[in-house]
């Protein structure tokens, strides 16, 4: 009887190690223990849910039941359901991370990882549209002088453009993180919880000072509501909606300010390695998508480096 009970326990343990939903939760626990950010954990959870929902419909409940063919069908299914190329690629990356983790964690004997035979779906290498500087100027013109919201919104627009930070990084900045004399801004919670320093120019710092003088709260956050609550992503988006509407223009996206930062820094002669560090990119390939150069940019680049003109041949 005891031997039978032990065998049943061992079988139950193996079944648990193969059950997809159970293993996904274990994978997330492992990533959390490794120090992954809340955003990264939520990304994995959402993207893996796409696969687990699909696999349940196909009666695929164990990791060992996953085949290359099943993965390809899932990717096609997501595309048919309206997920864009980037979303499908993100689902693939999440599943790949999970399967490689499961392979190392469980060390299943005789099992071959199916993801090795599935190539990553292609993502069109499209450049991303930056906000035009005249659009920023028109929204700033609609910001009332010497009022809390007017000075705050003006400072938000200039600092978004001048720092090149991601929205979540921008909103997490505390007053103590910014040096209004040097322009240094410490980003404590960058992507992957990596810290870096960005900078603000003189004009941006002046607008921040004017905004801070109008604050009556004691919040540590740099960007706040009138009541002193830290500004949320939704609140930041509403700032853009309101100011663009008042200016009679199409609302730019928050992220388009980051793209404009990258492109204008490049046009000003900043080298791509410094720009990569300022933006917190780990790969130059990511930076390329931000640099939407025009024919005029390329013409100016050629005029600067033309070997025939430079050498007078």
- In this structure, what CATH number is given to the domain that contains residue 45? 1.10.150.130
Query: Which residue bears the tokens 């069109």?
Result: 124
Residue 35 burial (CB < 10 Å; 0-12/13-18/19+)?
Answer: exposed
How many CA atoms lie within 13 Å of 273's alpha carbon, on the beta-carbon side? 0
139 and 253 housed in the same domain? yes
Residues 239 and 149 in one domain: yes
Residues 197 and 294 in one domain: yes
- Quote the pLDDT of residue 265: 86
Within 34-84, where are the H helices? Answer: 38-57, 68-80
The pLDDT of residue 279 is 85
pLDDT per residue over 20-46, tens digit each? 999 999 999 999 999 888 888 999 999
What is the extent of the structural domain holding 22?
Answer: 2-117
Residue 312 counted as domain residue: no
Task: Note the pLDDT of residue 37.
Answer: 80
| Same domain (yes/no): 69, 147 | no
What is the model's pLDDT at position 14?
Answer: 42
Mark whether 65 and 198 lie in a shared domain. no
Percent of the chain with pLDDT over 90: 66
Supply the CATH number for residue 277's domain.
1.10.443.10
Residue whose tokens read 């609550």: 229
Q: Are residues 150 and 277 in the same domain?
A: yes
> pTM for the whole thing?
0.67
Does some domain include residue 33?
yes
Domain tally, the chain: 2
123 part of a folded domain: no
Both 222 and 297 in one domain: the answer is: yes
Domain boundary among 59, 89, 117: 117
The answer as to whether 128 is a domain residue is: no
Determine, yes or no, domain membership for 124. Answer: no
User: Residue 181 falls within a domain, yes or no?
Assistant: yes
Residue 310 covered by a domain = no
CA dist 217 and 225 (Å) reads 10
- The tens-digit pLDDT sequence of the chain (313 residues) is 444 444 444 334 444 557 999 999 999 999 999 988 888 899 999 999 999 999 999 999 999 999 999 999 999 999 999 998 889 999 999 999 999 999 999 988 889 999 999 999 987 766 668 899 999 999 999 999 999 999 999 999 999 999 999 999 999 999 999 999 999 999 998 877 789 999 999 999 999 999 999 999 999 999 999 999 999 999 999 999 999 999 999 999 999 999 899 888 888 888 888 888 888 887 776 666 666 655 566 667 667 666 666 676 5
* 307 belongs to a structural domain: no
Question: Where do runs of H (alpha helix) occur along the chain?
Answer: 2-18, 20-33, 38-57, 68-80, 85-106, 133-141, 148-163, 167-171, 202-213, 233-247, 255-267, 272-279, 284-288, 295-305, 307-311
Whats the size of the chain, residue-wise? 313
Distance CA 239, CA 169 (A): 17
Which of 57, 90, 117 is the C-terminal boundary of a domain?
Answer: 117
CA angle, residues 113, 118, 120, in degrees to nearest 5? 125
Residue 176 sits in the same domain as residue 105 = no
- Same domain? For 107 and 164 the reply is no
Comparing CA positions, the residue from 68, 172, 158, 85 lying closest to residue 126 is 85
- Supply φ then ψ for residue 231, to 5 degrees: -65, 135
For 220, list phi and psi in degrees, rounded to 5.
Answer: -75, -20
Pairing status of strand 184-187 against strand 196-199: antiparallel
């Amino acid at each position: 009887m005891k031997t039978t009970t032990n065998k049943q326990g061992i079988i139950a343990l193996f079944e648990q190690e193969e059950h997809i939903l159970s293993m996904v939760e274990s994978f997330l626990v492992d990533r959390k223990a490794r120090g992954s950010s809340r955003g990264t954990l939520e990304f994995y959870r959402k993207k893996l849910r796409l696969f687990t929902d699909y696999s349940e419909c196909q009666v695929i409940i164990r990791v060992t039941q996953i085949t290359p063919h099943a993965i390809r069908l899932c990717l096609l299914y997501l595309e048919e359901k309206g997920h864009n190329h980037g979303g499908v690629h993100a689902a693939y990356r999440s599943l790949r991370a999970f399967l490689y983790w499961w392979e190392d964690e469980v060390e299943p004997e005789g099992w071959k990882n199916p993801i090795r035979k599935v190539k990553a779906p292609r993502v069109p290498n499209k450049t991303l549209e930056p906000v035009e500087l005249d659009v920023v100027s028109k929204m700033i013109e609609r910001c009332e002088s010497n009022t809390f919201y007017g000075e705050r919104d003006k400072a938000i627009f200039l600092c978004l453009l001048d720092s090149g930070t991601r929205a979540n990084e921008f909103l997490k900045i505390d007053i103590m993180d910014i040096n209004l004399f040097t322009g240094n801004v410490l980003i404590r919670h960058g992507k992957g919880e990596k810290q870096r320093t960005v900078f603000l120019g003189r004009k941006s710092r002046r607008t921040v000072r004017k905004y801070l003088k109008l604050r009556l709260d004691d919040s540590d956050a740099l960007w706040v509501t009138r009541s002193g609550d830290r500004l949320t992503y939704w609140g930041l988006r509403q700032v853009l909606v309101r100011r663009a509407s008042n200016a009679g223009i199409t609302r730019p996206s928050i992220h388009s300010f980051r793209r404009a930062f990258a492109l204008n820094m490049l046009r000003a002669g900043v080298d791509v390695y410094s720009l990569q560090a300022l933006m917190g990119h780990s790969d130059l390939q990511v930076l390329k998508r931000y640099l939407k150069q025009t024919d005029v940019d390329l013409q100016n680049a050629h005029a600067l480096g033309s070997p025939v003109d430079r050498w007078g041949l």
